[in-house]
Amino acid sequence: MIYKKYLCLYLITLTIFVLLGNKSFSQKMFYQGYVVTNEGDTVKGKIPYDIGTNNNYHIVDVKDEKGFVKKFNVWQIKMYSINNELYFTKKCERGETKHRNDLVFMHRLQTGKLVLFEYEFVRKIGAARNFGDAGLEPEGEKDFYIEKIDGSFVYLSRLNFKNTLRELMSGQTDCLSIIDSKDFEYLKIPDAIGCFNQK
């Protein structure tokens, strides 16, 4: 009888700790930011940084001074800023975005003759809702896109990104040497774009 009481007390205590632990893990870190709507209005507030969940792919939460949270999606806004980083509504090549007409928020990494965007995502693996559930590193996976001066948008696929970069940077021997080096890989694309934009 005493054993059962202690067992019940232990289970109740364990349940409370688990619930409190889950609550603390689910809290979001908020940073100053704003969104710019399709109509040109600017809405300021605090925005959570939680790439790896559903947010920041196609929905942005903005919390005002009173704590009220308003949700904006890729159909409603042109861009948003969080912690001085800019994210723009862009068309994505990935198949899992078809249900929202391929629209996602992409982080603008570099500006210049070539504007470099990165799309950070979690591959859908079963019911995965974040990087950990999907068995990925905390920063997730990335795709890179380039916007040229003429406004055209180029997806840098993993199969032929080197050839695409060579075409864009023809004549720039310094930048071409970066692309042709043995250790140049997909995640080093920003190095090559940075070289080209400094010319």
pLDDT digits (tens, 9 = 90+) for 87-133: 999 988 765 555 556 788 889 999 999 999 998 765 544 445 555 55
The reply to whether 194 falls in a domain is no
Reported residue count of the chain is 199
The reply to whether 185 falls in a domain is no
Is there a contact between 192 and 179 (Cβ–Cβ < 8 Å)? yes
Report if pTM > 0.85. no
The reply to whether 197 falls in a domain is no
Give the total number of structural domains in the chain: 1
Positions in the chain whose pLDDT score sits under 70: 1-28, 50-57, 94-101, 121-140
What pLDDT does 125 receive? 47
Average pLDDT, the chain: 78
Q: Which residue range is the domain that position 83 belongs to?
A: 2-156
Q: φ and ψ at 81, to 5 degrees?
A: -125, 135
Q: Which residues contact 80 (CB under 8 A, 6 or more apart)?
A: 33, 34, 35, 36, 47, 60, 62, 72, 86, 87, 105
The reply to whether 102 falls in a domain is yes
